Structure 1
C-alpha cells in the first residue's frame, strides 16, 4: 500500500508541475483546461484498462486449474496456496499455457485479485524446488504491486509525452509569430511553418523511445527485486538453477503476447547492442545470476 500511495503521489506531483509550467509559459490559456483534462484521461485510460483487465486478456490461451487432473497439478495448487497463506494474500488463480519456452507470469490489478500462469514446458523442465522458486518470483511481483505501479508509470509517461510535444510545438509557433524579422521573410516563414507540421511526429517519436527506455529500466529493476525475494523465500540456489536452465533456451521463440511480455519470467530475447539493452524489459540472465550470487542470505 505504501508503494502504491508513493507512486500515486509521484504521478499527481508530476501533473501539478506540468500545470505550473504550462501556466508560466502561457500555454495553459491556449490549450483550454478541458483539453488538458482530456489529455490526462487519454494518457491514463489505456494503461488503466489494460491493468484492470490484465487478468482476463489472455484467458483464452490458458487452461485454468480449478481442480487438479494429475499429481503435478495437485502439487502446484498446494504450493501456490501455501505461499499465499504465508504472504497473507488471497490465493491467485492458476493457469497453464502451451509454450516451448520455460516461462511464467503474474498479472492482476490487486494482490488479492491476481493470476499466475505457467508454461507447460516449465512444469516439465524444472524440478519442484525450481518451480517453487518461480512461484516465489511471481508472488514477489504480486505483493510488491509491480503491475499497478507499471500501469501508473505508463499513464504518467503517456501524459508527459503528449504535453511536452504540445509545449515544444506551441513554443515554436509562438517564436515564429513573434519574430518580426522572420515574418518579413516569407520564404523562411513558409519553410519553418511546413517543418512545424512534422514537429509533432518527430518529437513524439523521440520522446516515445525515451519513455520506453524509462519503462524498460523500471521493468528490469523489478526483475532483480523479484529474483531477490524468491531467493530469500526459498534459497538463491533454486532461483539460480531456474535462470541457468533459461539460458539454454536462447533459440526458442517466445509466444507470450506483447501485452504481458514484460510480466514473464523469461522474455526470450537476447541482448544485442547497448540500445537493445536499454529497450529490453528483462536484464541479461547472467546479470541476474550474478546479482543473486552477491546476496547474503
Structure 2
C-alpha cells in the first residue's frame, strides 16, 4: 500500500512541478494553428517531464532506499563492529574529499552494499547484515571504499542526468513518429486520433528499452571505476578478495529490491540478451580488471 501511495505521490509531484515550469516558460500546445508539429514546444515539454521525473527520483533516493531495504542508520553504535564500521567510513570519506555519509545496516543474509543520495555531501552508504557478519574486515573496508567511490565520483547524479536526457529523447521521438503516422499514413487532419496515441505508446516502450540498455552500459562502466576506488581506499587485496567472496556466494538468490540493483555492489547474473540490461559487469571481469591494474 505504501509503495502504491509513494508511486502516486511521486507522479503527482512530477505533473504539478512540470505544469508550473511549463507555465513559467510560456510553453503551450505542441501543435500550431495549422496543425503542424511545433518541435520547439515539444522538445521543451519532453525535457521538462523527462528531467523532473529523474530529479525527483534522485531527491527521494535516500528515503526510498532506507524504506525498501529496511536499512537502520547507525546514529549511536551499539557494538564494536558498528563502531569500527563508522570509523572506517569516516576515514575513507575524509580521504575521498566528501562529507561523512550516513552509515546503515540492512537486514539481508545475502552479501551486498549500496550507496545513494542526491549529492556527494549528503549520501548514504549501507551494508547488509549478512556481509557484515561473514566477510573479513579487509573485505568490508574495500566494499565500503567501493561505495564511497560511487559517492565521490557523483555516479548517482550522473546516472540521473543520463536517464533524464534519455527520457527526453524517448518522449520526443516517440511523439514525432506518432505524429507522422497519424498525419501521413492515417490521414488525420484535425487533432490527434487513436492511431497517434497507440503508436506513441508502442514507440515509447521500444525506445525506452533501447534507452535502458544505454543506462545499464554506463552503470557497468562505473562499477569498474568504483572497484578501483575500493582498492585505493580499502586495499587492493581486500577488494579482490571481496569480489571473489561474492562470486563464491553468487548462487544465493538475489534479495536486493529491483529498484536498488543498480546501486548495490553486486546484482543477479544474466546471460544472452539479458546481459545488456545488467547494471553490473560479471564478477570475473571485475576481478581480472583489478588484478591487471
In which range does the TM-score fall when normalised by the shorter chain?
Answer: 0.7 to 0.9
Which residue number corresponds to residue 170 of structure 2? 161
CA shift, 1:204, in A, is 1.6
Higher alpha-carbon deviation: 28-37 or 109-118: 28-37
Higher alpha-carbon deviation: 193-202 or 123-132: 193-202
Q: Structure 1 CA distance, aligned partners of 2:61 and 2:231?
A: 27
1:54 aligns with 2:61: yes
CA contact (8 A) 2:181 2:195 kept: no
Deviations, residues 30-77 of structure 1 (Å, cap 9, x unaligned): 247555433222212221111112111132411110111111011001
Which residue number corresponds to residue 71 of structure 1? 80
Which residue number corresponds to residue 7 of structure 2? none
Which residue number corresponds to residue 147 of structure 2? 138
CA shift, 1:237, in A, is 1.8
Q: How many residues align?
A: 257
Q: Structure 1 CA distance, aligned partners of 2:60 and 2:182?
A: 41
Deviations, residues 144-197 of structure 1 (Å, cap 9, x unaligned): 10000011111111111010111122233343378xxxxxxxxxxxxxx88665
Which residue number corresponds to residue 46 of structure 2? 39
Q: Structure 2 CA distance, aligned partners of 1:122 and 1:28?
A: 60
1:219 aligns with 2:233: no
Q: Structure 1 CA distance, aligned partners of 2:252 and 2:42?
A: 46
Q: Structure 2 CA distance, aligned partners of 1:148 and 1:49?
A: 12
CA contact (8 A) 2:179 2:196 kept: no
Deviations, residues 98-150 of structure 1 (Å, cap 9, x unaligned): 11111100001111100001100111111111111011100110011000001
Which residue number corresponds to residue 186 of structure 1? none
Which residue number corresponds to residue 112 of structure 2? 103
SS at match of 2:105: strand
Structure-to-structure mapping, 1:1-297, within 5 angstroms: 30-31=37-38, 36-60=43-67, 61-176=70-185, 198-267=198-267, 269-273=268-272, 275-295=273-293
Larger radius of gyration: 1
TM-score normalised over the length of structure 2:
0.81
Q: Structure 2 CA distance, aligned partners of 1:272 and 1:205?
A: 22
CA shift, 1:221, in A, is 0.3
Deviations, residues 225-253 of structure 1 (Å, cap 9, x unaligned): 10012223333221111111111222322
Q: 1:195 to 1:53 in 2, by over 3 A?
A: closer
TM-score normalised over the length of structure 1:
0.79
CA shift, 1:288, in A, is 0.6
CA contact (8 A) 1:217 1:281 kept: yes
CA shift, 1:209, in A, is 1.1
Q: Structure 2 CA distance, aligned partners of 1:197 and 1:139?
A: 44
Q: Which runs of 5+ in 1 are unaligned?
A: 1-22, 179-192
Q: Which runs of 5+ in 2 are unaligned?
A: 1-29, 188-192
CA shift, 1:29, in A, is 5.5
CA contact (8 A) 1:109 1:148 kept: yes
RMSD value over aligned CA atoms? Answer: 2.6
